[in-house]
Amino acid sequence: MSGNTLGQLFKVTSFGESHGPAIGCVIDGVPPRIPLSSDDIQPYVDKRRTGQSKYTSARQEPDKVEILSGVFEGQTTGTPIGLMIANQDARSKDYGDIKDKFRPGHADYSYFQKYGIRDYRGGGRSSARETAMRVAAGAIARKILSEILDTPVNIRGAMVQMGPMGIERANWDWDAVDNNPFGCPDAAAVASWEAHLDEIRSQGSSTGAVIEIVAQGVPAGLGAPVFDRLDADIAKALMSIPAVKGVEIGAGFNAATLTGPQNADEMNIGEDGKVSFASNNSGGVLGGISSGQDIVARFAVKPTSSISIPQKSVNTWGENVEVATRGRHDPCVGIRAVPIGEAMIACVLADHLLRHKGQCGG
Amino acid sequence: MSGNTLGQLFKVTSFGESHGPAIGCVIDGVPPRIPLSSDDIQPYVDKRRTGQSKYTSARQEPDKVEILSGVFEGQTTGTPIGLMIANQDARSKDYGDIKDKFRPGHADYSYFQKYGIRDYRGGGRSSARETAMRVAAGAIARKILSEILDTPVNIRGAMVQMGPMGIERANWDWDAVDNNPFGCPDAAAVASWEAHLDEIRSQGSSTGAVIEIVAQGVPAGLGAPVFDRLDADIAKALMSIPAVKGVEIGAGFNAATLTGPQNADEMNIGEDGKVSFASNNSGGVLGGISSGQDIVARFAVKPTSSISIPQKSVNTWGENVEVATRGRHDPCVGIRAVPIGEAMIACVLADHLLRHKGQCGG
Amino acid sequence: MSGNTLGQLFKVTSFGESHGPAIGCVIDGVPPRIPLSSDDIQPYVDKRRTGQSKYTSARQEPDKVEILSGVFEGQTTGTPIGLMIANQDARSKDYGDIKDKFRPGHADYSYFQKYGIRDYRGGGRSSARETAMRVAAGAIARKILSEILDTPVNIRGAMVQMGPMGIERANWDWDAVDNNPFGCPDAAAVASWEAHLDEIRSQGSSTGAVIEIVAQGVPAGLGAPVFDRLDADIAKALMSIPAVKGVEIGAGFNAATLTGPQNADEMNIGEDGKVSFASNNSGGVLGGISSGQDIVARFAVKPTSSISIPQKSVNTWGENVEVATRGRHDPCVGIRAVPIGEAMIACVLADHLLRHKGQCGG
Amino acid sequence: MSGNTLGQLFKVTSFGESHGPAIGCVIDGVPPRIPLSSDDIQPYVDKRRTGQSKYTSARQEPDKVEILSGVFEGQTTGTPIGLMIANQDARSKDYGDIKDKFRPGHADYSYFQKYGIRDYRGGGRSSARETAMRVAAGAIARKILSEILDTPVNIRGAMVQMGPMGIERANWDWDAVDNNPFGCPDAAAVASWEAHLDEIRSQGSSTGAVIEIVAQGVPAGLGAPVFDRLDADIAKALMSIPAVKGVEIGAGFNAATLTGPQNADEMNIGEDGKVSFASNNSGGVLGGISSGQDIVARFAVKPTSSISIPQKSVNTWGENVEVATRGRHDPCVGIRAVPIGEAMIACVLADHLLRHKGQCGG
C-alpha cells in the first residue's frame, strides 16, 4: 500500500535505492512455459542506460540484470520472477549539498515531509534508477503479449517535441527514431534539435520533452468500463514515470478544441468484413476498452531540476540556501523516457490481456 | 478485477446501468464517527445532474441518493456505506438505431467486442449516469478530509477552455464560476463562450473542453514514491471519467517547453518558519508526494459523439450504416465534468490521506 | 481495506446492517453471457433463511433478492452485479439491554473498542443477516462454475457433529441430508440428535456443531503455490463465517496423529489413463493447488452466545451487569451454516477458476 | 494474482525456488524510522533453519539474509525492503526419481497439472525453503508491533501434540519450550516424545504435529467485521504454511462440543476499571476483531510425505511407479513450523495494526 506494485494479474513489485546494495523487482502472475532468458531483458535495460550520446550521462557500471527465480530450463514456470541489478557504483562518497539541501522541483522535500527520513545518496528511492526495473518488467510483458496473441503487438516510442522544437508529422519515419540521439521520428528536425540542446547543455540548463508511444496490434476488448479503463491505467502508468507532468490519449488535449463531427472516428466495413476507422482521435480506446486501432499515448516530461544554475531553496534546518547540482547531468531527461514509456504501456497491456482472459476467456 | 473499484483504503465500488433498476456504490473504509447524512451528498449529485441551463439536458427524475448502510444516528460506523439511486426513467421504450448500430466514438463497439453482449438502453454501463455515484463518493471523501485534517481542504473546479475559446488567467475569479452556465472563472469570457456554444448547439454539433481542478489545503506528505504516486492516481482517476482524453498536473504539457530554471519552483522560508514556493509548476506534487502547495490538475474532455449530424458507421450484423443521435443532447459534456473532476480528486486525496495515516501515522 | 471484499477476480463486496434500510453486495468480475435471473439465487437465500423446523428462528420477512444491475435480457453482461434485500423488519423498537450491555462472546464489545460506535439494532453489521449476501454470491459462483467447466461442480454440505453427537461415516447418505432438520447425513443419528437439541433448547442453552463441505468435479490446477493457496483461501472464507472457530481440509487435525505412510494418498493410473488416488487425506489440495480429487473441508461452529441463561458482563459505562437474550434464539446456529459454507466454497472456487484462466488460460 | 503476496498495508511479496539462484521477498508498507538491521532478522531465520537436533536436517549453508533496500543508516525509510538469501547449495546434481515421479501427497503432481512445467530441483517453489522469507518478514513485523504499540506484543509458539502424543496443559511452561528438540511446553512429556520420534525415524517414517501460537499484548480493535476478520486472516496465513491441514482459534473444534454457557467468556470490570474475561474460548477474537485477550491459534501439520518407505505413484509419462525419498529427511516437519507460525501471526497482526491506524487512527 505504500505503492510499489503495478498491475493486478501481471503484477510488478519494485524495490531499491540508487546507492543501496541493489535494485530489483518481483513479477508475479507470468503465464507458464513462456521462453525467457536475461537476453530478452538486457537489451531494453541497456537501451535505457546507455550513454549513447553526449546528451545522456550514464553511471559507469554494466547494469546486468539477474533472473533470480521463476524461470527453469529457459521457460517461465508460473511462479514469481525475481529480478535484480546489483549497484556497483554505490560506494560511500561526499554528497555535499544534496545531503541537507532540498533541490527545488525534486522529491527531496516531499519525501522528508512524508517520512521524516530520506536516503539522499543519488536520490535514493526517487532516483530514476528504479526505472531500470520498469524496463525489465516491460521486456517480460512484451514476451507475454507476443506468446499469447496470434498477431504480434509492436510497441514503439519516439520523442515528438523537445522544448519548443516540434516535428513535422508528415515526415514521421520509425526508422529515423534509432538514428539520432533523441529518438526523433523526423530526420529533418534533428539538426535544429541538436543545435538547441547543445545550447541548453552549454548553459548548464535543461529542457522538457514530449514522448509518443504507439502500440500496434492490440486486439479489441482489453480494458474495463468504469475505473480501470485501459486509458486510465495507461495514464497512471505513464504519469508514474519520474518527471512526467501530463498524459494524453489519441487526440488528447487537442480534442478539447474539436467539434463532434471532427472528433468522431467514422467506421466502415470493407469487403473483407474487417472494420476500419477513418481516423484515430480515440487513440485506440473507446469507453475504456481497446477498439483494435493503434493505442496512441503521449506524455510530457519536465526539464530536470538537476541543473548547474544555482537556485534558491531551503535546507533541513529551515534555513534559506542556494543549491546547484555539480558534475554531469542530463540536459533532456526525456531522451531516456522513451524506452520507459514503452515499457509502461507493455506492462499495462499484458495486465489487461490476462485480466481479459480471466473474465472473458478470450 | 473487471475494474469497478477505486482506491485502496477509501474504496469505492460502483455498479449500475443507465436503464436498469438502480445505480449505486459501496464505500468501504470510511473512518467511524464522521457526521454524515444524505444532505451532505445530495447537493453534489444535484449539481452534476441539474439542467441549470439550456446547455445541459437532464433526465426527468430527482436522482435521490439513499444511504443503505454504514451510518447510524447521523454518524458513520466504520462499516461499508451502501448508496443507491433508483432509476425512475428506466421504462422500456424504442431504442431504434442505437440498439444495433455502433455510434462512432462510443463505447458501443468496444463493449460488444469485449463482452459479446451489451445493454444498449441509454448506454448501459457506459452511460455517464454512473458518474452520479462518483460525485456521491466524492462528497463523503470531502467529509473525511474535513474531519481528519486540522485545516480545511477546498476542492474546486472550473472550465478553462471550451472548444477554441480560452480564458484570461488574470481575470480568474472563483466567485464567477457559479454565475455562468459553463463554470467559467473569467466573467469577461462568458458572453463569447455563450455565442460560440449557441452556434454549436444550433448545428446539432458538440464541442470539447478543458477543466481545471484546484485543491487547497492539502498537507505535505500524501502519496507514494514509485507507482502509486499521488499524481499518477489523480491521472488515473481523471482519465477514468467518460470522454476524458488528457490529464496534466501543474505546468503539464507546457512543462515540455520550459527550461530547468523556468520550471523549478524556488523555495523560501519566511520569518514565520513556513516554506513558500515562488511558483507552482509542480502542481503541488513532487516525486509523487504532495508538497503542501495547491494541487492543480487539468483534464481535456472530448466533444460528445452523440450528435444529430449523421455519421458513417457499422452495425452488429457487419453492415455499413449511417447513425445520428435523436432528441436532446449536451453540446458540451465538459460542463457536467466539473463536479465529477472535483469528486475524483476528493476520492484520491481521501484514499491517500488514510494510506498515509496507516503507514506513517500522520 | 476495512475488509468487506472477498476474492480477486470473482469479487464480492458486501454492505448492510441487520436493521438498516437494506443489505446488499456488488459482484464484480462475472464473465459475460452467463444465464442468470433471481430464480437462480432465491432458492439458496431461502434455504439459509427458512425456519423449516422448530430449531431455527426466522425473521418474518420474505428476504427477496433484487438484481439491480449487470444482467440484461437474462444474461450477465460482464459489468458488476448489484444485489439487494430490503430490510422490512427494520422498524424502530426497544432494544433494552442490548443497547448498552456487551453480550459475552459477541462482537458488541470488540466493535465498540474498534470504532467507538456501534449499530446495536439486531447486531448491526455483526448480525448473521449479512450471510444472506454470501449465499446469494455463492449462487452466482455456482453458475460460473457450471457454465465454464465441462463437467459440473457439485458443492454440498452436511452437519457431521452437533455438540457431542457425531455420525457413523459408513452411514453417509447425501439423500438423508435434506430429510432432517440438521442436514445430518446419517439418518440413524437423527433421532438422538433431536432428543439432544430438544434438551438444549428447553434449557434456553445452545450447542456447537461441525459442518463438512464436499466439492466434487473441481478440476486439477486451481490455486497458487505460496500465500493464496486454494486451501488457505478456503480457510479464510470459512473462518470468516460468523461463529466459526476452526477449519480443516482433508484429514485435518487428524493428520497430526498419522504417520507418513498412513497419510500419503497413493496414486495409480488405470487402463483408461486416468489417475486415481487410494485415499483423500489431502482433501483435494496438494501444495495449495487442487489435485482433481474432491475438495473436502470442515469447520467448527461455536454455540451461540445469545442464550436466555443470564451471564456476567459489563456495559458501555464500565459497570458490571448481567445480560440474557430474550425471545427467540437458535439453539444450534450451525444448522444455518451449511448453505453458507457451501456458498463460501463456491465463491473461492469461482475466483480461483477465473484466476487460473487469467494466468494459465485453462 | 498468482498469489505470492500477503497482506494489505504490511505487504510481503515472496519469490524464489529451492535450487534457483536465490530466494527473497519485498516488504512494502513498513513505517519509516523503525530501527532495523539484519541482526533483527537473522536470529529468526537461524531458528527455523538450524539442525539443532538429530530430528531436523539442515542444508549445509548459512542462509544469510541480506537487506537490499529500504533501510538507511539503521532505520527504515518507508520504501520497500528487499530481502534476499542466496542459494549456495543450488548446484546441479542428479535428482533421480524426483525428476519424473510424482511423490504422493506432494505438490509435484498438482504443480504439473496447473503449469505444465515444474522446477523439480529440491521441490522448486513448493519447497519449504520459501518459509525462510516468511520468518524474515515476521521479524520485521515484530519490530513494527513493538515500535508502534505502547505495550510489547509477545508472540510465542509451542508444539502441543506430536503424532498421538499430547501434553498436560497444567504443566505448560514457556521456559521449557527452548529446552527440548520439539518446542514442547511440557517438560514431563519430552522423554516419551523422544522415544516415539526415535522409533518413527528409525522406520524411515514421519509423524504429524499440532502447533499452538499465543500472542500476548495485542490491543483490542484490530480486525474487520465481515471477510477480513482477524481470525480469518490468521486462518489463511497459517493454512498457507506448507503441510498445514487445519487451523483453529481459541476453543476451536472443541467449541463444537460445548454449550453456550460453557463457551461464553464472561466479562468483569475490576476496581482498576479494566475489563477481564473469565475464560478465553474466543481465542482473543470476537466478531473478527481483537478483544484485548491473548490471541490463541493452533494448526495441524501433516506428516511429511518425503519418507524412505516406498509408495505407489505415477510418473510424468502416465506410468505406475514406486517412489521413495532417499537421504536425509525430517521425521517431524512440525518442529520447524513453530517459528513459521509465529512469523505468520506477526505479519497478520502488523498488517491489521496498520489498517486500523489507517481507518480509525488508533
Q: Which residue of B has its CA nearest to A358?
A: B1
Tell me the pLDDT of chain C averaged across its residues.
Answer: 93
Question: Shortest Cα distance from B267 to chain C (angstroms)?
Answer: 37
Chain C nearest-CA distance from A326, in A, is 45
pLDDT of residue B61: 76
pLDDT tens for each residue of A102-149 = 999 999 999 999 999 999 988 899 998 999 999 999 999 999 999 999
Backbone dihedral angles phi then psi of residue A182, each to the nearest 5 degrees: -110, -15
More confident residue, B328 or A229: A229
Paired sense of beta strands A71-72 and A154-162, if any = unpaired
Q: Cβ separation of A359 and C354 shorter than 8 Å?
A: yes
Lowest pLDDT segment from C97-111, D9-23, D334-348: C97-111
Give C84's DSSP letter: E
Question: In chain D, which residues have their Cβ closer than 8 Å to the Cβ of A81?
Answer: 15
Distances (CA, A) of A14 to A31, B84, C226: 19, 39, 19
Of chain A, the percentage scoring pLDDT greater than 90 comes to 83
Those residues of chain C whose CB sits closer than 8 Å to some CB in chain A are: 1, 8-9, 29-32, 78-79, 148, 225, 354-355, 357-361
pLDDT at A172 over 90: yes
Cβ <8 Å between C360 and A29: no
Q: Which residues are CB-neighbours of D187 under 8 A, at least 6 positions away?
A: D171, D173, D176, D179, D180
Residue B158 makes CB contacts below 8 A (sequence gap 6+) with B172, B174, B177, B183, B184, B185, B211, B212, B338
C251 contact partners, CB below 8 Å, separation of at least 6: C258, C263, C281, C282, C283, D245, D302
Exposure string of B40-72, with b = 16+ CB inside 10 Å and e = fewer, is: bbbebbbbbbeeeeebbeebeeebebebbbbbb
Q: What is the model's pLDDT at position C169?
A: 97
Cα torsion through A196, A202, A205, A209, rounded to 10 = 30
Percent of chain D past pLDDT 90, that is, above it, reads: 83
In angstroms, the separation between the Cα of residue D179 and the nearest Cα of chain C is: 22
**Spatial contact of C360 and A32, defined as CB atoms under 8 Å apart:** yes
Q: Which residue of D has its CA nearest to A32?
A: D115
Q: Any residues with CB less than 8 A from the CB of D13 and at least 6 apart, and which?
A: A5, A13, A26, A28, A80, D4, D5, D25, D26, D27, D28
- Residue A66 CA to residue A38 CA, distance in Å, equals 7
What's the rounded Cα separation, in Å, for the pair C305 and C311? 9
Q: Is the pLDDT of residue B165 over 70?
A: yes
Count of residues for chain C?
A: 362
Average pLDDT over residues D222-236: 97
- CA A165, A171, A174, A176 torsion-angle sign: negative
More confident residue, A200 or B52: A200
Please write the tens of the pLDDT for every residue from C146-190. 999 988 899 999 999 999 999 999 999 999 999 999 999 999 999
- CA dist., res. B339 & res. B213, Å (int): 9
d(CA C145, CA C153): 7
Q: What is the pLDDT of residue C307?
A: 86
Which among B168, B166, B199, B171 is positioned nearest to B182, based on CA atoms? B166
The 10 Å Cβ neighbour count of residue A274 is 10
Cβ–Cβ gap C225/D3 under 8 Å: yes
pLDDT given for residue C349 in this prediction: 98
Residue A94 has pLDDT above 70, yes or no: no
Q: What are phi and psi of A49, to 5 degrees?
A: -80, -45
Answer left, alpha or beta for residue B85, where phi above 0 means left and psi between -120 and 50 means alpha: beta
Segment among A23-32, A87-96, C154-163 with least mean pLDDT:
A87-96
The whole-number pLDDT of residue C362 equals 66
Cα–Cα distance, C76 to B116 (Å, whole number): 11
Q: How far is CA C103 from CA B164, C320, D209, D231, D352, in A?
A: 67, 12, 35, 19, 24
CA–CA dist B80, C24 (Å, integer): 11
- Mean pLDDT confidence for D242-255: 98
Q: Quick check: C32 and B117 CB within 8 A?
A: yes
| pLDDT higher than 70, residue A328 | no
pLDDT at D204 over 70: yes
User: Which pLDDT does position A86 carry in this prediction?
Assistant: 95
Check whether A90 has a pLDDT greater than 70.
Answer: no
For residue A326, pLDDT over 80 is answered with: no
* Minimal CA separation from D258 to chain B, in Å: 31
Provide the H-helix boundaries in chain B: 38-49, 97-100, 107-115, 131-148, 174-177, 190-202, 230-239, 260-263, 334-360
Q: What is the dihedral of CA D100, D102, D103, D104, to 10 degrees?
A: -160
Confidence check: pLDDT of B253 > 70: yes
CB-count exposure of residue D58 (10 Å: 0-12, 13-18, 19+):
middle
What is the pLDDT, as a whole number, of residue B210?
Answer: 98
Q: Exposed, middle or buried, A309 (CB in 10 Å: 0-12/13-18/19+)?
A: middle
Of A104, A233, A285, the CB nearest to B236: A233
pLDDT grade, residue A49 (50/70/90)?
confident
Q: How confident is the model at residue B305 (pLDDT cuts 50, 70, 90)?
A: confident
Mean pLDDT along residues D135-151: 96
- By residue count, chain D amounts to 362
Mean pLDDT confidence for B296-314: 93
CB D303 within 8 A of CB C258: yes
Residue D150 pLDDT level (bands cut at 50, 70, 90):
confident
* pLDDT at residue number C329: 77
Containing C132, the helix (H) or strand (E) segment is helix C131-148
Q: Which residues pair with A26 in a beta bridge?
A: A13, A82
| Model confidence at D3: pLDDT above 80 | yes
User: What's the confidence (pLDDT) of residue A162?
Assistant: 97
Nearest CA in chain A to C354: A358
What per-residue confidence (pLDDT) applies to D49?
Answer: 72
Closest CA to A359 of D24, B4, B163, B275: B4
| Average pLDDT of every residue of chain D | 93
Q: Is D238 exposed, middle or buried (0-12, 13-18, 19+ CB in 10 A)?
A: buried
For residue A108, the SS3 value is helix
The CA distance from C293 to D109, in Å, is 12
Gap between the Cα atoms of B230 and B127, Å rounded? 27
Separation between Cα atoms, residue B127 and residue B95, nearest integer Å: 14
**Residue in B227, B231, B315 to test binding to A, most A beta-carbons within 10 Å:** B227
**CA distance linking residue C101 with residue C86, whole number of Å:** 28
**Coil, strand, or helix at residue C190?**
helix
Average pLDDT, chain B: 93
Q: Is B84 exposed, middle or buried (0-12, 13-18, 19+ CB in 10 A)?
A: buried
Min Cα separation B189/chain C (Å):
42
Average confidence (pLDDT) over A233-255: 98
| Helix locations, chain D, DSSP H | 42-49, 97-100, 107-115, 131-148, 174-177, 190-202, 230-239, 260-263, 334-360
Average pLDDT for B107-115: 94
User: What's the rounded Cα separation, in Å, for the pair B36 and B14?
Assistant: 20
Q: CA torsion angle for A175, A178, A180, A181 (degrees, to 10)? A: 160
- pLDDT tops 70 at residue D92: no
Q: Which of B25, B33, B79 sits opposite C17 (nearest CB)?
A: B79
Give the torsion sign (CA, B100, B105, B107, B112): positive
C313, β-bridge pairs: C321
Nearest to A359 among C29, C359, C361 (CB): C29
Do the strands A289-290 and A285-286 form a parallel or antiparallel pair, or are they unpaired? antiparallel
Mean pLDDT, 10 residues at a time, chain C of 362 residues? 89 96 98 97 86 69 93 97 88 70 92 94 91 97 95 95 97 96 96 96 95 98 97 98 98 97 95 95 98 98 90 93 82 95 98 97 78
Sign (positive or negative) of CA dihedral B30, B31, B32, B35: negative
**Does the pLDDT at position D307 exceed 80?**
yes
| Integer CA distances (angstroms), C350 to A50, C64, C144, C238, in order | 47, 24, 7, 15
User: From the centroid of its chain, how far is CA D107?
Assistant: 18
DSSP state of D35: B
Do C361 and A360 lie within an 8 Å CB cutoff? no
Single-letter amino acid code for the residue at A243: A
pLDDT of residue C196: 96
pLDDT over 90 for what percent of chain B? 83
Do A224 and B301 lie within an 8 Å CB cutoff? no
Cell 515500535 belongs to D147
Distance, in Å, from the CA atom of B284 to the CA atom of B231, rounded to the nearest integer, reads: 9
pLDDT at A59 over 70: no
> CA dist A161 to A196, A302, A343, C149, Å?
12, 12, 20, 52
A3: left (phi over 0), alpha (psi -120 to 50) or beta: left
**DSSP-derived secondary structure letter, C218:** P
Q: Using the CB atoms, write b or e for B155-170: b if 16+ within 10 Å.
A: bbbbbbbbbebebeee
pLDDT of amino acid B50? 62
Among candidates D227, D250, D269 on the partner chain, residue whose Cβ is nearest the Cβ of C3: D227
